[in-house]
Amino acid sequence: MTTSKGADILVLAAYAPELVGMRATLGTALAGVVRGLRVVCATVGVGLPTAGAGAMRHLRDAKPRAVILLGSCGAYPKKPAFAPLEAVVPERIQLVDTAVVLDKAAFPAPMQTVMEPDPVLSHGLATCLPGVRRGQLASTLSITTDDTLAARIGKRTGCDTENLEAFSVGVACAGLPLPFAAVLVVTNLVGSEGREQWSKHRRKAADHSARLLLDWIHRGAQGLPAR
């Protein structure tokens, strides 16, 4: 996966298995032209610490018009409940630390803990994709595996879903600045059964997120900034 040739749309994911659904269209190089737009895919690394640096490297190489994060997310136990393989285009991404949620730590006041994906790009994706949910996404340092804690995070933060990389990638894009949005697919309920559910649904989730993204491109890539 190379980003050195530039891109109209840079598609980022945490690691290679989340991009497998793009291979049928773009080939093993995961780069090509779709409906007149050059689409390039790349990986940024798993988790908050590596995703920002990985994203910045590809952003500088590709110089894209827009950046879209493809991946999976878990859903907090809230009503109305999210279903497996349901798509999410978040409106707001919040940095979440469980120690803060439990009132055992605090973020310093100058620290950025919230970022908003590009509203035009996100709206364009959401309106073109059937059944997409919006809402708030939590970016955490680790996967939440406790049921009680998962319920508390969802209630305390107002977040609907959890993903490890979105905040770091979004902040990297904002620093340049570049329009950023995320297309995530729910693989599990956050909590004690989450990892087993993720393993069951992750391949279908990767295929589904790619199909949604490619459908958006074929329908005119609504919200993509002009050249």
pLDDT in tens, 132-161: 999 999 999 999 999 999 999 999 999 999
| pLDDT, position 4 | 52
Task: Give CA–CA dist 180/190, Å, rounded.
Answer: 25
CA–CA separation, 209 and 72 (whole Å): 8
* pLDDT of 3: 54
Q: What is the per-residue pLDDT across 83-118, written as a single tens digit (0 to 9) for each?
A: 999 999 999 999 999 999 999 999 999 999 999 999
**What's at 79, amino acid-wise?**
K
**Domain coordinates in residue numbering, the chain:** 9-218
Residues 6+ apart with CB under 8 A from 81: 75
**Average per-residue pLDDT in the chain?**
95
Structure-model confidence comparison of residues 1 and 5, the more confident one: 5
Does the domain formed by 9-218 have CATH 2.40.160.10?
no
Kindly report whether the global pTM for this prediction surpasses the value 0.85. Answer: yes
Residue 138's pLDDT is 98
> pLDDT value at position 88?
97
Residue 5 has pLDDT above 70, yes or no: no
Which residue, 172, 154, 152, is CA-closest to 162?
154
Cβ burial, residue 92 (10 Å; 0-12/13-18/19+): middle
